[in-house]
With several copies, the nearest count.
Chain A
Amino acid sequence: MVLSAKDKIVSLSELAALITDGSSLALGGSFLHRGPFALVRELIRQGRRGLELIKQSPGYDIDLLCRAGALRRTRAGIVAMEGNFGLARWYRQAVESGQIELEEHACATITAGLRAAAFGIPFQPCGGLQGSALPALNGWKSCEDPYGSRRDVWLIPPIAPDFAIIHANAVSRSGDARVLGTAHWDRIMTRAAKKVLVVAEELLPDESFRERPELTLVPHFMVEAVAVVPRGAWPGSCWPHYEIDYPAVEAYVAETDSDLSGHLAAAPEARVSANA
């Protein structure tokens, strides 16, 4: 008579609807790899505004949000399209024009801030940063080692995103999220955020998770809701399911105006719902 955890599967549009204007979002993956891009596109379709993006290495996601005018602020480590596509043009323009506010981090200081939130502590010391102008830029405090090592260390304040949103390889009905290959920064993001949303390549039966529970990056009880969106990381990669769709990224980059309708309509989740 043991009751199961509840079913958390919703549609992509229902998942996006959980996110309100002005929310701060930690997005999983890195550059063009295993990002929750279908969800980002759906937020744009729904006209979300005033978002903050938190990510060590955003690229396509932040560029898209800037191009759509959906972003107000970002805390980011390194921003680029990568894979020979260079800088993220719409992001660059948004920062240079003052359209969005940038809090520039090193990747590891984003992680430190997420760790402070994940560990429930008021700050996280971060190694390195000696001589960098970033701490002063951000008003970070340093501290002398009270144990006498004479090593000063920078203290990074907590970063607790409203949502962490990751693209997983597979989920269970109750929300267990399996990730294959590198987890990028997804682990610490899901521990630091107030709520976790998952987009997944596929739904697998509970038995599959019971056979290899070690592959579950996020246990179901930490997950708010899940949408199953095959090819949801398009035009990026989701190993081992698919690689980067280079022609699609080239087409995205080649477009010079802010109208995203063609790109959004070309996305796998749009074509599926058009067919449905």
Chain B
Amino acid sequence: MPEERWSGFSYIVTNLARFIRPNEVTFSGVNSNLPMMACLLAKDAYDFYFTYINVAGGVDPHPTKVPISSSDPMLAAGTQSIFSNEDFYDLCTRGGMDLCFLGAAQIDGEGQTNVSVIGDWHAPKVRLPGGGGGAVMLPTARRSCTWRTEHSPRVLVEQLDFVTASGGMHGLVTPIAVFVKRDGRLVLQSWHPEKTLDEVIARTGFPIDGKGATPTPPPTAREQAALAALDLAGAFEEAAHVTLD
């Protein structure tokens, strides 16, 4: 990774990490390698403490390596408690989860998500993984963020094929843009400095105007170093298949 430049992979992981705030309880779940890396990156790169809990039952774990599966028991290595699935869901529904990373296949302009189906639910073109955490966590976590490795009108849509989860994402990161919620809508916060605002707008299926958005500040030296340490061999970057196009 050339200095101070983003790859699509580093862009997603680092900008997800930037949503993490001091002293908050932050959660990463299954099928969530990039948020898992974002949480581990933030622990290393930022000068504040936050609580990192995950679907493997770990609370501020000390993994001796980064697992391929984001629900791997390695994510509970060195934990001082096991916080099992029932427990973190209850924490969320009672309002104790500050930041939740939740996957999505399609996202609309209100930050609703579809993880269920492409096409009609009863006659699916593609059967997707399904409900998962979102339908319950998205409306109850204080903030939720999502990510996509593809930025196109087929994933950032005007109209979801199915509303699996509502309640609205606080943030969304793609390989070329960062969105945040303002007045109930996802709006562009910043874009990949090697792309243009026009391209981002054109590739976003829901309407955005880009007002107030700026090019995304480059990765800091500590963010870069932390990510490099997590992905020494580049295997995670390779597996993620993130392109800017």
A residues bordering B, Cβ < 8 Å?
1-6, 30-34, 56-57, 76-80, 82-84, 87, 91-92, 95-96, 102, 104-109, 111, 117-121, 126-134, 137, 172, 174, 176, 181-185, 187-188, 191, 206, 209-210, 213-214, 216, 218-222, 237, 239-240, 243-244, 246
**What would 13 A/B residue contacts be, using CB atoms closer than 8 Å?**
A57-B71, A107-B131, A107-B136, A108-B89, A128-B135, A128-B139, A129-B135, A130-B166, A132-B134, A176-B81, A182-B85, A210-B78, A213-B80
B residues bordering A, Cβ < 8 Å?
25, 30-31, 33, 43-45, 47-49, 51, 53, 55-57, 59-60, 62, 68-74, 76, 78-87, 89-96, 112, 115-116, 121, 124-140, 162-167, 239
Task: Please give, as numbers and ranges, the residues of chain B lying within 8 Å of A104 by CB-CB distance.
Answer: 116, 121, 130-131
* Contact for B84 among A108, A127, A130, A183, CB less than 8 A: A183
Cα distance, A240 to B87, chains bound together (Å): 22
Given known pairs A118-B90, A216-B80, the reply for A79 and B136 (CB within 8 Å) is: no
Task: Please give, as numbers and ranges, the residues of chain B lying within 8 Å of A131 by CB-CB distance.
Answer: 112, 139, 163, 165-167
> Across the A-B interface, how many residue pairs have beta carbons closer than 8 Å?
238
**CB nearest neighbor in A for B96:** A222
Task: Please give, as numbers and ranges, the residues of chain A lying within 8 Å of B96 by CB-CB distance.
Answer: 222
Given known pairs A78-B129, A83-B68, A187-B86, the reply for A134 and B80 (CB within 8 Å) is: no
Cα distance, A241 to B62, chains bound together (Å): 19
Cα distance, A95 to B25, chains bound together (Å): 36
Q: Are A120 and B93 in contact (CB under 8 A)?
A: yes
* Contact for B94 among A126, A127, A209, CB less than 8 A: A127
* Contact for B80 among A2, A95, A126, A220, CB less than 8 A: A220
Task: Please give, as numbers and ranges, the residues of chain A lying within 8 Å of B124 by CB-CB distance.
Answer: 95-96
